[in-house]
Amino acid sequence: MKVSFDRATDALYVRFSDDPVAETAEVRPGVMFDYAADGRIVAMEILDASRTVAADDMKKLSLEVA
């Protein structure tokens, strides 16, 4: 999994898989899911992330695996 935040565009991008993106759908305003050809979600992008995700949470991005 790869997580990146672009301050210039205020976009948070989470990539779950290296599989090619076959389709992108906006699931709610400013939130896009990228899908593989078989329908699996391979990535998620949040635009205007600083307005959608709390600033304190953006500073401490972490990965938890259960």
Helix (H) or strand (E) holding 58: helix 55-59
Q: Where are the domains of the chain?
A: 2-55
| Residues of the chain scoring pLDDT < 70 | 54-66
pLDDT attached to residue 55: 64
Q: How far apart are CA 6 and CA 9, in angstroms?
A: 6
Which pLDDT does position 51 carry in this prediction?
Answer: 85
**Nearest to 10, CA basis, from 46, 40, 41:** 46
Measured torsion, CA atoms of residues 31, 16, 42, 26, in degrees rounded to the nearest 10: 0
pLDDT at 58: 62
Residue 7's pLDDT is: 85
